Structure formats: C-alpha cells, structure tokens
Amino acid sequence: MEILHDSRDDRVTQLKAFDDKKFGVKGLIDAAAGGPVDVPEIFIRPPDEVAEDLELTRTSLRVPAIDLTGVGDMGSSRREKIVEEVRHASEKWGFFQVINHGIPMKVLEEMMKGVREFHEQDVEMKKGYYSRDPERMVKFNTNYDFYMSKAANWRDSLLVDMTGSNDLDPQDLPAVCRDSTVDYLNNLMKLVDTIFELLSEALGLEPSHLKDLKCETSRNLACHYYPACPRPDLTLGINKHTDATFITILLQDEVGGLEVLHRNQWAEVKPIPGALVVNIGDLLQIVSNDKFKSVIHQATGNATRTRTSVACFFHGQATPPKIYGPIEELVTKESPRNYREFTVKDFMSKFYSRGLDDKSGLNYVRI
C-alpha cells in the first residue's frame, strides 16, 4: 500500500480537493475497487503526536458498567446503590456504560442498521446531503473540523444539528434511516431524564436540578462511520478530545475502538451488547464545579473491520440565551468557584472555532 506524501504548504489545496469530491472517506475505499487504498497526507498524524501517544501505556481496567434495573424505585436501597455507582464513575472516570436501561434491543439494532445503510449506499445518493453549512440541520461530511485539525480523521458522519431547535422534521432525514432515527431519539429521551436525575442526586441535589437547568435541550446527533483503515497506526478515527457537552450518550457496535484516558493510561470502553456509553462533558464539569470530570478520549481505527457509532450530545439551552456557571450549592469555602458564567452559544462558538484536537474548552471559562 502506498502512502501519499505532499508538501504541507499544499494542505489547504489537498483538503479542498478531497472535500469537493463529496464522497467522504468511504469514497476512497469505493474508488479503490478492492485494490490497495492510498492514505492521503491530510489523514496522517504529525510524528510528534504519534510519538507522544506511544509513551502512554494501556491498562486492563475497564470503564464501569452500571445496571439500571430498579432505577425507578425512588428512595430504595437499589436506587441509592445506582446513584453511588454513578457518582464514583463520574468523579473517577468521567465515563460509564449503562445496561438494562429500558430501550429495546430492536430499537438499537435498527438505529445502527440505518446508519450503516446510509453510509454504504451509492455515493450519488449521499452527495445531496454533503455540506459544511452551519445553518443546515441535517448534513453529511468528513470531520466537522476538517480545515482546522492537524490531521483529518478516518471517519464520515451524518449529522443532525438540533442546537437551535428541537423541531426536527423527519422528512429532512435520509429515507434509509429516517424511521430508525426518530424511533431511537424518542426512546432515548426517557433514559436521558433518568440519567440527569441520577447525576443530580450524585451531586447531592434534588433529582430535578439538572433538568430544571435545561441541560438536556439542544441535542446534536452524530452518526459516525469508520471504514476499515489500512494504516491505523498513522491516523485515528477521532482525535483525543473532551466533549463540549453536559453529557454524551453513545451507541457503539461490537467492533470497539473507543478509549478513555484514565490515570494517564488508555482504557478500552469494551462494547457490551445492548449497552449505552455515557460520558461527562465540559459543561457538566463546569456546573459541578469540578466534582465530575470531563476526560480525554479517542477512537482508534481498525485494519480489517468497519465501525459505526451514534453519539447524542446534550448542550443545554442555547436559545433563548441562558446563563450557566457553577451550581451555587456546590460552591463552598472549601470548594470555591472555579469558573465564570457564560452562555451555551458563546461556549459552543468557541468550541467550533478550533480543531477537535486542541486544548479543552474549560480553559475559556476557568477563573
């Protein structure tokens, strides 16, 4: 397999040439027609970044899995145990998986099937959705930060941006995944209510506290497709980063590749059939005044298998503008305020103005 090397002075030209084809990373695979796949320079990580990554070891520790059986029994010992597990995972890991969460397996399977079918359909069908217009609610592209990152990631995404409005018209969704996406989102919101209740209780607050702050509004859905990568040692599926969210809920297939940085070691988020991954984002770390942690994570490539995942991001109320900052009950003499107040719109505009691989957005509002 040949690796194409071009002058970095030509990077923007290379990026635009790839983008103008509107066929994504999957298009590279299809164009090769079974032959060797060339890895364009724009996808190859800087050598210093690769070297830095090699210094990190991998741990056999696994992200906690929390069984939500009995979570509806308010005040029960079972509910208290679940809250304690959520607290521990949110403070120590920033990630946990949930099982027995109530969403039928068929709903999850149909969602993943719809994502695969969208990305694997004829490229001419997908081109109509290819866009980088921030005002467009439903769009398909390769890497939202394509022109800002140091290296593009080996990933295509179908994006449903509901930041400005939750009034999604199902007809705007691709027909191949329309029903499955609507069904998944409808089922997901009940679980999201439960997750925010548990997080509120884990912070020592009333169950409705985070929901009252409108933390679950402004949803974004990212349906990712990671084609098998001939050189996963040189590129990533997603660069290491933290999420600019209150929480992110991820549905992943059985292939795996998601890793969390835990105690300066990479820990695998091992796929569990029917499980959903929950991770704490920057916004929840801020409002919790650093009690809960938004941690670095990444997705590696796979040399032989295609991976799909569906991430749903919850950013809080953007319109009309709402002021967020550390929750007053969590600011004490022992734990003074660590962040200034801000609006979600301002916070997210800064997030989208930089590459995903840049430093955490916490730096924008830290006192």
| Angle (deg, nearest 10), helices 105-120 and 24-32 | 60
Query: What is the tens place of the pLDDT at every residue in 106-137?
Result: 999 999 999 999 999 999 999 999 999 988 99
Overall number of domains in the chain: 1
Query: In which domain, by residue range, is 309 found?
Result: 47-365
* Residue 22 counted as domain residue: no
For the cut 90, the answer to whether the pLDDT of residue 4 exceeds it is: no
* Residue 114 counted as domain residue: yes
Report whether 283 contacts 324 (CB < 8 A): yes
* Residue 6 counted as domain residue: no
Query: What is the tens place of the pLDDT at every residue in 10-53?
Result: 899 999 999 999 999 999 999 887 777 888 999 999 999 888 88
Q: Does the predicted TM-score (pTM) go above 0.85?
A: yes
* Residue 281 counted as domain residue: yes
Query: What is the tens place of the pLDDT at every residue in 61-95?
Result: 999 999 999 999 988 999 999 999 999 999 999 99
CA 281 to CA 245: how far, in whole Å?
4
* Residue 226 counted as domain residue: yes
* Residue 57 counted as domain residue: yes
CATH number, residue 227: 2.60.120.330
* Residue 24 counted as domain residue: no
Burial (Cβ within 10 Å: 0-12, 13-18, ≥19) of residue 142: buried
* Residue 42 counted as domain residue: no
